[in-house]
Amino acid sequence: MTNKEKTLQAWKQITAEKKNTASLHLMMLFIKTVRAKSNDKAAVMQGLINKTFTPITNTNRLQNGAQADGSLRGALVIIRWRLKNMARIRDPQLYRSADTENFLKLWDTLTDEEQRAIMELSMNSFKLEKEKNYCVFFTREDLSPAQQVVQTAHTALCMGTRYKGNPYTQHMLMFGVPNLAALTARYNELQKLFGKDIYAFIEPDIGNEMTSFGINSVSVRAVQKIFAKDQLLQPISDEGRIERLLLRELMNG
């Protein structure tokens, strides 16, 4: 019997006994990753995690302090602890839970090389927490502070009905631009990059002008790379807004 067959046999026994906990699911993802042909193990692992672990969306649980990816984080803590304390959990004089016993059954089906690869993958080379995603908004600063809030909210509402996703795993970034011309120019630039994931809100009460636009589900890397020079939206009073616009006019000659 090959090592892969031994792993499959052990996993079938675990699932038949209904003892396939989150930590054991994560262990199986480690095993699948180190046995994958791809050299990009981090990408393989991330893909498997996204398919296997579903974020918590229950409003009551989230409001009571649960983390959207709490199951994944907890499983990772358990796996890392076991890998660091392998000699201890193998000690026959110490108590071992059924979950730990099943972990060892899976571990013992691996080759020495696979075990080393999992140790490295779990401790050093890869962070298993799901990557943050951002909804990014751009809003005109020549609108009043109240209008800026309303127009950004309009965009967010329309995006929420258009795109599927878990609002508890999305973060928000709001950038400001001076006026309609600047908003249109930035929209045209980003539309080439994000395509259908960008949404512009047109306000009929302001002459059917674009007042704000949003981009759905932007990765941390994209935020750092694409939006590094954009300025965060800073709603200010009408008096301060006029002073800022006058200063820009003076600076622009």
Per-residue model confidence (pLDDT) at position 52: 85
Statement: residue 145 has pLDDT above 60 = yes
pLDDT tier at 223, thresholds 50, 70, 90: confident
pLDDT tier at 125, thresholds 50, 70, 90: very low
CA 214 remoteness from chain centre: 18
Mean pLDDT, all residues of the chain:
84
Per-residue model confidence (pLDDT) at position 252: 55
**Cα–Cα distances in Å, from 193 out to 78, 100, 119, 218, 228?**
40, 47, 38, 11, 15
- What residues contact 154, with CB distance under 8 A and at least 6 apart? 201, 203, 211, 212
Residue 135, token pair as written in the block: 């909804």
pLDDT tier at 199, thresholds 50, 70, 90: very high
Looking at 142-156, 159-173, 177-191, 229-243, which range is the least confident one? 229-243
Looking at 69-78, 106-115, 120-129, 164-173, which range is the least confident one? 120-129
Per-residue model confidence (pLDDT) at position 92: 80
Say which DSSP state 105 is in: H
Statement: residue 117 has pLDDT above 50 = yes
Enumerate domains of the chain plus CATH numbers: 3-125 (no CATH), 133-251 (3.40.1490.10)
Statement: residue 218 has pLDDT above 80 = yes
Looking at 25-29, 48-52, 210-214, which range is the least confident one? 48-52
Statement: residue 189 has pLDDT above 50 = yes
State the pairing for strand pair 198-203/231-232: unpaired
Mean pLDDT, residues 37-55 taken together: 84
Percent of the chain with pLDDT over 70: 81
Q: What is the pTM of this model?
A: 0.52
3-state secondary structure of 68: coil
> Within 10 A of 207 (CB to CB), how many other CB atoms are there?
8
In terms of pLDDT, which residue wins out, 55 or 94?
Answer: 94
